[in-house]
Amino acid sequence: MTNNGTPLLRMQNIKKDFFGNQVLTDINFTLEAGQVLGLCGENGAGKSTLMKILFGMDVIRETGGYDGDVLLNGQKTEFKTPFDALAAGIGMVHQEFSLIPGFTATENILLNREPKKKNVISEVFGDRLNTLDYKEMDRRSGEAIRKMGVEIDAGMTISSMPVGHKQFTEIARELSKDQLKLLILDEPTAVLTEKEAEALLESIRNMAAQGIAVIFITHRLHEILAVCDKVVVMRDGYVVKDVPAAEASVSDITRWMVGREVQKAAAAPAEPVRAENRDARVVMSIRNLWVDMPGETVRDVSLDIRDGEIFGIGGLAGQGKLGIPNGIMGLYQAGGTVEFDGKPIQLNSPRKCLDASLAFVSEDRRGVGLLLDESLEWNVAFPAMQIQNKFLKKYGPVRWRDEKAIHAVTKKYIDALEIKCTSSRQNARELSGGNQQKICLAKAFALEPRFLFVSEPTRGIDVGAKALVLDALKRFNRESGVTVVMISSELEELRQTCDRIAIISGGQVAGILPAADSSEDFGALMVSKVI
Amino acid sequence: MKGKTLVIRLAVLAAVIAVAAVMMVIGRGHTIYLDNKTIEDYQGQEYKSFERVVVTVDGEEAAKLNKRERGMATCMGQSFTMTLEITEKKGDEPRTEVVTVDLPYSVDGIVINLPALLAGLPEDAWYSEFVPQVQEEDEEPLPGEGDAFGLEGDMGLEGDMGLEGDLGV
Amino acid sequence: MHEYASAIALRYWLKKMGYPRLIIAGFLLFLFIMAPVTGSDLATQVTNVINRFSWNAVLVLAMVPMIHSGCGLNFGIPLGVLAGLLGGTLAIELGFTGPMSFVMAIVVSTPFAVLFGGGYGMLLNKIKGGEMMVATYVGLSSVSLMCIMWLLIPYRNPSIVMAYTGVGLRNMFALDSFYAGALSEFLKIDLNPLGINLVIPTGSILFFALLGLAVWAFLHTKTGTAMTAVGSNPTFARASGINVDRIRTLSVILSTWLGAVGVLTYQQGFGFVQLYTAPLNMTMPAVAAVLIGGASVNKASISNVIIGTLLFQGLVTMTPTVITALIHTDVSEVIRIIVSNGMVVYALTRKTEEAA
Amino acid sequence: MKLKKNFDGLDFLQNNLVPLMFIIICAVCIPLSGFSASYLINEIVTRMGRNIFLILSLLIPIMAGMGLNFGMTLGAMAGQVALIFVTDWQIWGIPGVVLAMILSVPVSVLLGLLCGKLMNMAKGREMILGYMMNYFVTGLYQLVVLYFMASIIPIRHASIRLPRGFGIRTTVNLANMRQCLDNEFAILYKGVKIPVLNFIIIGVMCLIIIWFRRTKLGQDMRAVGQDMEVAQAAGINVDRTRIISIIISTVFAGFGQIIYLQNIGNFPTYTAHSQIGMFCIAALLVGGASVEKASIGNVFLGVILFHTMFIVAPRAGVAITGDAMIGEYFRVFVSYGVITLALVMYEIKKRRARSQGGELLAQAQRARREGGAQS
């Protein structure tokens, strides 16, 4: 399969930055035909960016391209669109399904590549009026399914299929492409049952045996060991390890994934856990919480949060850490019991939570956090006005907006949080991501809550703004004695800010550690219950 | 391949245009007025009207003409064939004649003088164009916005409830 | 440098205004300039525009609450109009005359407006995102249902029932002895004695100003603020503890009630009541006017209402006289149809960041 | 098991609510109206012959996920423009119909292109946009027919011009092509005239639609209709596919309107199209179609039920209330009501599908949680 030792794929010195933010540095690895490469790393380690480069996704070009070379069979290639990549024999199965729900598996497998028969009318009106060759379609999809080695019903419509079969349909679609040489599987087992995952691994072995190279991205490390020929571990945009799978173990990989340089790790926990927190009373106790938040399902979480602490919640993406605040604050359907200050909080009712002096800064700034088309003043003052009747003047039964008070409070936070804007009447849409995030914080601060959930406060903002946001949170906690629960994908950030950190894995609490514990311990927790 | 498709498309387009052209020819409708009138003086000769003419077109009786009467028939296409059952004078046995007339494309209404035609005279003797008189009518009301209902013509709800009403005039 | 900045400002302003709006405003300006040229009296034209403005402005105002709460353009305004018609006819049936009948018409129509609006609002809450199409058909079907009701409700007053049979209401009846001019005659300024053909229906304008002020004030209260937020980002509002459905229903009730008052205002100016299918013809002028005034599918203000009604009614009143005089053909009807519907099509194709 | 069956029954009822309601209305109204069976059947057969083609033109945009094409009226206008020309040129009978169809195509394509492009700019709001396009293009149509024809566009015959010299009269007389399709090969059976040629044309159209579903373009439309993003990712040109579906619909609507009007024998120049979309859509919905799913069977059932109601309602209204107008208003109300109901049910279903998915997930989690707790 290897021609003269030229590997099928060679990544050479790949570099990529998003507006000065270096996300990939000097990526080098090779992949032979028929080899299976396991790619792992924490969220944000650069796996997806790397795959996007390989697959020619638009977002790479739109953000200024990349440096370095991608060599396919020794030829330097640069894909302009995913379609170029497909034509060159690269297939990718994304995490989100890309299937037409009302079509059968066969129709989906051959979507837009259906074999056709010519007819009189198509001669006139063009190829799109060729009729589909259903027999040939059945044959081709059957062949692809056989190639995959997992039995699925080709005639079944997608909408009536179990999740696993949808995943297999996607894989079969890639396999049905004759030119396929390299298949990228992005966390394909995340949605599969154990049995199905087993079948998938078997089919990966099958494909490899037929000479197809596979890049397999997963958080389930034992799967990597079971099926891969080599393991590439990424961290912070670097390839930190590139070894044959036979020479690695789960604990090795975990260590490589989260392991920091020694000096960096030492610098991480900013302050020791404050003494008064150790035995402070429990202000919020969560028992058996489940939350139906798509993509962030919480299955069974029980936590106790102490008065006045900064509590961190971390974990890999999709494991359910974001579901916790969203569920408690009533934005997604939730069940279980939550007590705040000894009193139970009614779930599924944002109003009840806000009334109980809880506040929430959502990770979805544009969708949930802001009124993009309204002024900053409105954004900052709105919840406090509605919930606590602040910033209102009373004339008999009429409660009139007090523009002056609103202006004053907005001004106060603009100054305090160093929000860059032309005026407090500017629309929120016009601010940069970091400043929008600060507005979200200001909105929560204006509520003067006793308890604050902050979800992904630094997502999508630049380094300078990050520090400011985290400082503001810490100050708010120290000065006003507000209990803060911070949810973040970035472990380092949590370790710098929080007193204790719970790691969520598979929708459950994998463990709670003091921020000073070693990265390896956190890393082990992160992948411990991955579903 | 590209060229072939183009040729095929052009051919189909030409065929469609050809069909349209054929339709314009074979579907062109004419109204033919048949006169059974005496021509007093055509180059010094008189052609007497017949006592009675029965005109049959496509097997259907189109007109029964006595002296000085005018009949009407409609016809699609560019030539018109009729069967005439002619009684020349009172008491004569009727004789049957089949006459075919070529019609000019651009004329809607054609008046044919039967006695002259049957006498075999040249075209200018029996042919003339029918010019309808346009009656002056009252100005018809113009349409409003069909915002009101009225599911079909026969609904009776077709009122122009447009804004004319509230223009206040 | 200064020029450069102003050029940017101009372009920004142009973009904000939108080309269709500018074209319409320009066209209207052209009409005003041409009016004296064609020999029509400018004062008469101005009187006409003001008059028509005073009839229609409240109906246009009825668009505002629903746009604010994110329910889109209120194609269901006929529902409010029906409430108004019920109020008006019942007030007359109950024997009220003169200006009193106008007051009573509003009073009687209020419970109907609340009832209709409440039901309509709850329906719209079930179909968030598809409001406009359903609203259109709610309007159409309720009007056709009321067509039956106008025949079935046992009205007795001889001045409004059908002349021959005495059963069912007439298609159209005059309001001379009832509330015709109830507002427009109030404090009317008539400059005819001075030789200027200018009449200003002060009462009607004051009435609109009052309602406009009330809506403006409402939008500045706590609930009004919540309404705007619901329209701007319903998820934000929900996360802020707002009962989104309740606020939306309230906005629909408000819109419906304003529609009822709007049609009564219209009738007192016009002097006639039109029943049966007539309510359907109230929709487009109102929707088009608020859009021409600068509103979008999810943003509207009182100034949009005033500007839009002036522009649209100006167009409707001026084109017949001026354009007809210019080209000797009355194309006003066609222009009205193209402008009003074109405006709605334009508004619908504008990208909005989020579709609630 | 029994419970499941019950559930299915309820489901059936819910999915077929509108046709069932109509069957009941018809069953009540037919005896009240007192029409003879042969009269009724004759009427229905005639109306089937003239309407089905129009309604078939709605199927393709539904397939492409663009909902009920309220913009089909645009095609109707194109058909009318063609008919005006054909009338002026005095082309009669079937050749006239064929010529009008050919002439309507370029106009339909142009209008369909415009409509499709605008709909792509208003994704998710296609229906209301199509609805408003009716009125907008009606304005353009009036401008052309009322002012341009016979002034800029030559019209020869004074008989179809307005007395003022330009513009077309409010009624265009199609006496010379009246029922020319209906009468060709017509069979008279026990007082029922069966317009055989019409049904042949409709049959061919049905075959075309069935065939079309099996073409690449048809497959693409179904894909686009179900998930635009997935279709785009698979390399299907979504916008173009959607525009094509609207163009096809508009062209067929133009043909349909010509078939419809040749049956009637004349048309009110400025209003003939205005309600065509409304009652075609109502008929389709009555046949059990929904905004996202419609079949040829729905078309036939819908036409029969809708028109039965339409014919009998006024007489039944007289029989019940003694007032003819009430029946008239009633059938209008029912038509609008049906569309309203269908739209509401469609929107509610869309939302319910979402929330139900959530509930199921939550249940599964609960079960898993309990399972997890045990192990």
The closest CB to that of C278, out of B161, B167, B168, belongs to B161
Contact call for C353 and A372, based on CB within 8 A: yes
Total residue count of chain D as it appears in this document: 375
Which chains are within 8 Å of A by 3+ CB pairs?
B, C, D
Q: What is the pLDDT of residues D265-324, one digit of tens each?
A: 888 988 888 888 888 988 998 888 888 889 999 999 999 999 998 888 888 888 887 777
pLDDT band at residue D362 using 50, 70 and 90 as cut-offs: low
Contact call for C236 and A355, based on CB within 8 A: no
Task: Say which range, A464-468, B58-62, B141-145, C214-218, has the weakest mean pLDDT.
Answer: B141-145
| Cβ proximity of C317 and C331 under 8 Å | no
| D373 interaction partners in chain A (CB closer than 8 Å) | 300
- Which of A468-482, B22-36, B147-161, C253-267 has the highest average model confidence (pLDDT)? C253-267
Q: What is the pLDDT of residues A301-338, one digit of tens each?
A: 888 898 888 999 988 877 888 889 998 888 888 888 89
Q: What is the pLDDT of residues D74-96, one digit of tens each?
A: 999 999 999 999 999 888 889 99
Say whether pLDDT at B144 is over 50.
no
- Within 8 A by CB and 6+ apart from D83, the residues are D100, D172, D174, D258, D261, D267
Share of chain B above pLDDT 70, in %: 78
Predicted local confidence at residue C112, as pLDDT = 94
Number of domains observed in the structure of chain A? 4
| A124 interaction partners in chain B (CB closer than 8 Å) | 8-9, 12
Interface mutation target, options A80, A170, A292, chain D, most CBs of D under 10 Å: A292
**What does the alpha-carbon distance between residue A301 and residue A286 come to, in Å, rounded to a whole number?**
7
DSSP string across A66-85: -EEEEEETTEEE--SSHHHH
**Average pLDDT estimate for A444-463:** 84
As a CATH number, domain D11-374 is 1.10.3470
Residue A303 lies inside a defined structural domain of this protein: yes
What domains, with CATH codes, occur in chain C?
Answer: 19-348 (1.10.3470)
In a 3-state reduction of DSSP, which class is residue D34?
Answer: coil
Using a CB–CB cut-off of 8 Å, the residues of A that contact B are 123-124, 126
Q: What is the pLDDT of residues A399-437, one digit of tens each?
A: 888 888 999 999 998 888 888 888 888 888 888 777 888
Predicted local confidence at residue D366, as pLDDT = 60
The closest CB to that of C348, out of D129, D147, D351, belongs to D129
Predicted local confidence at residue A288, as pLDDT = 86
Predicted local confidence at residue D371, as pLDDT = 56
In a 3-state reduction of DSSP, which class is residue A396?
Answer: coil
Residue A280 lies inside a defined structural domain of this protein: yes
| Cβ proximity of A298 and A320 under 8 Å | yes
Predicted local confidence at residue B168, as pLDDT = 27
Q: Which domain holds residue A353?
A: 262-357+450-531
Say whether pLDDT at A69 is over 90.
no
Residues A84 and A183 in one domain: yes
Predicted local confidence at residue D57, as pLDDT = 93
Give the residue from A118, A138, A165 where a domain finishes: A165
Q: Which residue of B has its CA nearest to D265?
A: B153
Predicted local confidence at residue C210, as pLDDT = 92
Q: What is the pLDDT of residues A155-203, one digit of tens each?
A: 888 888 887 888 889 889 888 888 888 999 888 877 677 778 888 888 8
pLDDT band at residue B152 using 50, 70 and 90 as cut-offs: very low
Which chains are within 8 Å of C by 3+ CB pairs?
A, B, D
**Average pLDDT estimate for D173-198:** 86
Q: Are strands A500-505 and A334-340 parallel, antiparallel or unpaired?
A: unpaired
Residues A270 and A350 in one domain: yes
Q: Is the whole-model pTM more than 0.95? A: no
Please count the other Cβ atoms lying within 10 Å of the Cβ belonging to residue C181.
20
Say whether pLDDT at D257 is over 90.
yes
**What does the alpha-carbon distance between residue A338 and residue A355 come to, in Å, rounded to a whole number?**
15
Say whether pLDDT at D374 is over 60.
no
Say whether pLDDT at C159 is over 90.
no
Q: What is the pLDDT of residues D125-135, one digit of tens each?
A: 888 889 889 88
A73 or D111, which is more confident: D111
**Average pLDDT estimate for A207-226:** 86
| B158 interaction partners in chain D (CB closer than 8 Å) | 268, 271
Predicted local confidence at residue A531, as pLDDT = 61
Predicted local confidence at residue D56, as pLDDT = 94
Residue A174 lies inside a defined structural domain of this protein: no
Contact call for D91 and B134, based on CB within 8 A: no
- Is the Cβ of B30 closer than 8 Å to some Cβ of chain D? yes
- Is the Cβ of B149 closer than 8 Å to some Cβ of chain C? yes
Predicted local confidence at residue D81, as pLDDT = 94
Contact call for B157 and D90, based on CB within 8 A: no
- Is the Cβ of B12 closer than 8 Å to some Cβ of chain A? yes
Say whether pLDDT at C118 is over 90.
yes
Residues A392 and A529 in one domain: no
Total residue count of chain C as it appears in this document: 356
Closest Cα in chain B, distance from residue C125 (Å): 27
Q: Which residue of C has its CA nearest to D347?
A: C127
Interface mutation target, options A123, A127, A130, chain B, most CBs of B under 10 Å: A123
**What does the alpha-carbon distance between residue C73 and residue C134 come to, in Å, rounded to a whole number?**
11
| Cβ proximity of C205 and C54 under 8 Å | yes
Q: What is the pLDDT of residues C27-74, one digit of tens each?
A: 888 888 887 777 777 788 888 888 889 889 999 999 999 998 888 888
| C127 interaction partners in chain D (CB closer than 8 Å) | 343-344, 347-348, 351
D34 or D100, which is more confident: D100
Phi, psi of A331 (to 5 degrees): -85, -25
Residues A375 and A404 in one domain: yes
Which chains are within 8 Å of D by 3+ CB pairs?
A, B, C
**What does the alpha-carbon distance between residue A20 and residue A34 come to, in Å, rounded to a whole number?**
37
Residues A209 and A239 in one domain: yes
Model-level ipTM above the cut of 0.90:
no
Say whether pLDDT at D357 is over 60.
no
Residues A295 and A322 in one domain: yes
| B143 interaction partners in chain C (CB closer than 8 Å) | 333
Nearest Cα neighbor of C70 from C242, C350, C300, C243 is: C300
| D310 interaction partners in chain B (CB closer than 8 Å) | 151
pLDDT band at residue D254 using 50, 70 and 90 as cut-offs: very high
The closest CB to that of D223, out of A82, A111, A290, belongs to A111
**What does the alpha-carbon distance between residue A488 and residue A476 come to, in Å, rounded to a whole number?**
18
- Is the Cβ of C10 closer than 8 Å to some Cβ of chain D? no
| Cβ proximity of C128 and C356 under 8 Å | yes
**What does the alpha-carbon distance between residue B150 and residue D335 come to, in Å, rounded to a whole number?**
11
Predicted local confidence at residue C5, as pLDDT = 64
Place of tokens 């000797």: C328
Nearest Cα neighbor of A219 from A185, A261, A196, A182 is: A185
**What does the alpha-carbon distance between residue A240 and residue A40 come to, in Å, rounded to a whole number?**
10
Predicted local confidence at residue B137, as pLDDT = 54
Closest Cα in chain C, distance from residue B159 (Å): 9
**What does the alpha-carbon distance between residue C112 and residue C256 come to, in Å, rounded to a whole number?**
9
Q: Which CATH class is domain B29-129?
A: mainly beta
Nearest Cα neighbor of A406 from A442, A452, A353 is: A442
Chain centroid to CA C7: how far?
Answer: 36
Provide the residue type at C1 as one letter. Answer: M
For the record, the structure tokens of A85 come out as: 């990549």
Predicted local confidence at residue D215, as pLDDT = 92
Contact call for A333 and D227, based on CB within 8 A: no
Residues A120 and A245 in one domain: no
pLDDT band at residue D364 using 50, 70 and 90 as cut-offs: low
The closest CB to that of A98, out of D216, D217, D230, belongs to D230
Say whether pLDDT at B143 is over 60.
no
- Is the Cβ of B139 closer than 8 Å to some Cβ of chain D? yes
Say whether pLDDT at C136 is over 90.
no
- Is the Cβ of B5 closer than 8 Å to some Cβ of chain A? yes
Phi, psi of D172 (to 5 degrees): -105, 125
| D362 interaction partners in chain A (CB closer than 8 Å) | 290, 292, 333, 335
For the record, the structure tokens of A58 come out as: 């638009």
Contact call for D146 and B143, based on CB within 8 A: yes
Say whether pLDDT at B149 is over 80.
no
Predicted local confidence at residue D109, as pLDDT = 96
Provide the residue type at A125 as one letter. Answer: F
Residues A233 and A250 in one domain: yes
Which chains are within 8 Å of B by 3+ CB pairs?
A, C, D
| Cβ proximity of A186 and A91 under 8 Å | no
pLDDT band at residue C340 using 50, 70 and 90 as cut-offs: confident
| A126 interaction partners in chain B (CB closer than 8 Å) | 5
| D220 interaction partners in chain A (CB closer than 8 Å) | 112, 128
pLDDT band at residue B162 using 50, 70 and 90 as cut-offs: very low
Predicted local confidence at residue A45, as pLDDT = 76
Predicted local confidence at residue B163, as pLDDT = 28
Beta-strand runs (E) in chain D: 171-173, 187-189, 192-194, 266-268
Residues A149 and A270 in one domain: no
Predicted local confidence at residue A59, as pLDDT = 80
**What does the alpha-carbon distance between residue A298 and residue D354 come to, in Å, rounded to a whole number?**
19
What is the sign, positive or negative, of the torsion defined by CA atoms of C285, C286, C288, C292? Answer: positive
Q: Quote the mean pLDDT of chain D.
A: 86
pLDDT band at residue C254 using 50, 70 and 90 as cut-offs: very high
Domain range list for chain B: 29-129
Domain range list for chain D: 11-374
Chain centroid to CA C145: how far?
Answer: 22
- Within 8 A by CB and 6+ apart from A305, the residues are A282, A283, A284, A285, A286, A311, A483, A485
Residues A230 and A314 in one domain: no
Residues A187 and A289 in one domain: no
Task: Say which range, A119-128, C14-23, C164-173, has the weakest mean pLDDT.
Answer: C14-23
- Within 8 A by CB and 6+ apart from D331, the residues are B151, D309, D310, D313, D314
- Is the Cβ of D146 closer than 8 Å to some Cβ of chain C? yes
Predicted local confidence at residue B159, as pLDDT = 31
Q: What is the pLDDT of residues A261-287, one digit of tens each?
A: 433 443 444 454 454 556 678 889 998
Predicted local confidence at residue A487, as pLDDT = 92
